Amino acid sequence: MTTEWTLNLKLLFAVTLCGSCLISPVDADQDWTKRAHDLCSRLSVTEKLSQLNTPAAAVPQEQGFAAFNWWSEALHGINNQQGGGTIFPQPLGLAATFNRALLRHVADIISTEARAFNNRQIAAGGDPRFLNVFSPNINIFRDPRWGRGSETYGEDPYLTSQLGVEYVKGLQGNDSTYLKISATCKHFAAYSLEQEDGITRKAFDAQVSDKDLQETYLPAFEACVREGQAASVMCSYNAVNGVPACANPDLLQTTLREQWGFGGFVVSDCGAVQATWWPHKLTEEEAESQAKCLKAGCDMSCTDYGKLKEALEQKLVDESEIDRALVRSLTIRLRLGMFDPSDAVPYSTIPPSMIGTQDHIEAATEAARQSIVLLKNDKEGADGHALPLTASSLTKVIVVGQPAVQTELLFGNYYGKPAGKVTSPLEAVQAVVGADKVAWQPGPHIVAGNAEGSIDDVVRAAEDADVVLFFAGITMLNERECKATDQAPAWVPFLEGEGLDRHDLNLPASQLDTLQGLAARTDAKIVVILIHGGPLAIEWLQASPKVTAILTAWMPGQGAGAIADVLFGKVSPSGRLPVTFYHANYTQLVKSASMDMAVWPGRTHRYLQEPALYPFGYGLSYTAFEYGSPQLIPARMRRNDMALIEVSICNTGGMAADEVVLLIMSPQETATRKLNTLNLPKQSLRDFERIHLQSGEHSSLQMKLPLEHFSHAVTDSLGRTSVQAIHGLWKVQIGAQSILLWLGPEGLSVAQPEGGQLQMT
């Protein structure tokens, strides 16, 4: 027998026995909640309490509860350090694809690998694992310094909502009965700061207006609950308007359960329950703080609800409240099939051979291809540009920078052991041009400064080079995570990440010094490839004529081969920025702790009142697309109808390519109040599509325009906030084309300017 066949046989035998099954097949038709109540009723109080922690303890075998660790991560791959799973681009890179279908496909692959890891572990006699994941992160990347911004889908609530829903659906599967794995949407709510002025994320009190909550910080969570049907929501470390999120009944009960109809369980961020007592100082005694968390609707603590027994003894909580919390998480365990025979659970026989397959690795590369954003591409000669490069014309290519060889720098955070050999960017370039024509220079350390003579070494190497490919950026790794290679030093302190916000948006000085030295001392053509999480202020690179092209590859995971595909024109770059790239002085104008979206200079593309270095949605292509004039279908829409905007698009350039089509709406004037008194966003993303067109191909695209796209949160003179349809004139922008629409009590119609006066059709 082969090892794989033997393992699959053991897997089938193990899951068929289903040693943790409590409910017989006869009982399997009971509804989930009734079955969860039955399971709960069989446990003692002590046993019940042991199940409210993320490492849920095993209960004696006659009760059939295996130990289960609820804590796994799947932001862009399963973080199994023993596994060999597929590492996809960091989520911000995935967001740059603007591709709903891709996000669902990525999540489906990740959940397949998670089930395979679990099934392999059970076959080996272990406890279930990797069936619940603390993903996706659907917070809004409101401040560019935030260290965890690259874990998110960017700064826009609509984009985050759409991609978050697809990711949840991909993780949880499409079986009508069982969950493939359970998704946890995090961090609820208004979490986007690690530290500022000595205030940490565990002590931060986010002061947020009702308007900003409803329009910016909550929509993605509502979408993931209502449309995505997420099994779990994670409450965050911070307080919201004075009340810690994990002890906040307005958030966890009124909003989440009563208004949105959430039926899953709430888990705290790790240590957030303890943080309600210290440093938030919710109550004098920790047991009382934990009681308030449970009562508010926090059903599980990561990692320990250790003071609940004391709270129960002091009658701060009663057993029925413990039961309520436990039934919610037991319902999810039941839906994962943990208590049913394996032949009833369609995912229980996914074999280990589905981990890190070649198809999965190719999917990671394709995700990276679609994520790469071309920021600059100078003209060269009459018709050409700096990119794409022509491999056959190159005799010497110099590749500079540690990210070109040190693949750990490409992974972001929350990743596991990668599947197979990971191709480095240097190897990918060598495969296209030829190893004998490509040389590598280490260049500067990421942050530690230049070694003596290192700039001279790079300059000497570049003197007769056809092109210098300079890999620059910032890293999330610390020295414990970053392993040495034969070519690169091991010590790389990290600049952004969980627990650490940036102080500025600049490239590390050592990298900029080397680039400026190259530009001043050589005639080399310089192409910069950015490897990074959050946005960078790269004004000098954009302005320098020596830097002929810039692209951002984000943190591409195992998809680094995509960088060479774009550089050498195998594919046209098609990513768009899911975040604004600000000028360097932006961080001097606004404190990162300010949650107000509209206060000058404004946050994100929706409210920014100053010019951006590269705006949200920006991205260049190797080809050209021509848009026709948008048309409203029907030309007049009744109040409750769904309108469509139709636009024609033609690829007028010389190569096949993807195009990301964005529908942006902006208010022009309102029918009842002055525009500036409503504090509306300057613009809002309302739809997007990714299409592929051959050279010369035309396509017609219809984009949705429901009434809710004209709605915004409005605060009246009494301070009451409600979402209302805004009657008046609206501009709908698609590409370089736009259409003016009028929304009134009677419905929606096209506005036609005639003789200098606005006329309604």
Q: Are 337 and 395 in contact (CB under 8 A)?
A: no
Q: For residue 363, which amino acid is it?
A: A
Distance, in Å, from the CA atom of 583 to the CA atom of 543, rounded to the nearest integer, reads 13
What is the bridge-based pairing of β-strands 737-744 and 728-734? antiparallel
Q: Are 474 and 509 in contact (CB under 8 A)?
A: no
Distance, in Å, from the CA atom of 145 to the CA atom of 148, rounded to the nearest integer, reads 9
Cα dihedral 398, 401, 406, 408 sign: negative
Distance, in Å, from the CA atom of 582 to the CA atom of 506, rounded to the nearest integer, reads 10
Angle between helix 32-41 and helix 319-335 axes, rounded to 10 deg: 130
3-state class (DSSP) for residue 363: helix
Prior bond of 200 cis (ω within 30°)? no
CA distances from 361 to 417, 567, 593 (A): 13, 20, 39
CA distances from 263 to 51, 105, 230, 266 (A): 18, 25, 9, 10
Distance, in Å, from the CA atom of 248 to the CA atom of 119, rounded to the nearest integer, reads 37
Class of residue 648 by CB neighbours under 10 A (exposed 0-12, middle 13-18, buried 19+): middle
- Which residue has 């301070």 as its token pair? 719
3-state class (DSSP) for residue 306: coil
Q: How many CA atoms lie within 13 A of 180 on its CB side?
A: 22
CA distances from 72 to 181, 193, 262 (A): 11, 22, 22
Prior bond of 493 cis (ω within 30°)? no
Q: Considering only CA atoms, which of 295, 210, 195, 197 is closest in space to residue 244?
A: 295
Distance, in Å, from the CA atom of 649 to the CA atom of 624, rounded to the nearest integer, reads 10
Distance, in Å, from the CA atom of 432 to the CA atom of 427, rounded to the nearest integer, reads 9
Q: Is 687 a catalytic residue?
A: no
**Which residue among the candidates 269, 299, 501, 658 is catalytic per the annotation?**
269
Alpha-carbon dihedral 534, 537, 540, 543, rounded to 10 degrees? 90
In this structure, the chain runs to a length of 761
Distance, in Å, from the CA atom of 580 to the CA atom of 140, rounded to the nearest integer, reads 12
Bridge partners of residue 68, in order along the sequence: 56
Provide the 8-state DSSP code for 418: B
Please give the distance of CA 509 from its chain centroid, rounded to a whole number. 28
Q: Which positions ≥6 away from 313 have C-beta within 8 Å? A: none
Residues designated as active site: 269
